[in-house]
Amino acid sequence: MIKPHINVSRHLASRRAMKAWRERQRLVMVFKRFHDGQVTTRLLIDGEYYDVDDAQLAMLAEGAAPAELDLHPAFEPEE
């Protein structure tokens, strides 16, 4: 069986593009909590966890920094 020719430069360009895309994804949604008609989203941003509401989530998605919104890291109990 003949092996297909692999275009190495195209493969490396694809890997670089994926790495750049992952680096741009600075917001990681950990979970959403629905309680008493409120939605709280826990985000992982640059190694810190933050609890935000929908309005804050929208502003963070547009590029605002947590400090600009006066957000403080959420308490994480030690195990």
Cβ-based neighbour number of residue 52 at 10 Å: 22
Confidence of residue 79 (pLDDT cuts 50, 70, 90): low
C-alpha distance from residue 73 to each of 17, 23, 33 (Å) = 31, 21, 17
Domain chopping of the chain, boundaries: 27-74
For 19-73, write each residue's pLDDT tens digit: 877 776 678 888 899 988 889 999 988 888 999 999 999 998 888 889 999 999 9
Where on the phi/psi map is residue 9: left (φ > 0), alpha (ψ -120 to 50), or beta? alpha
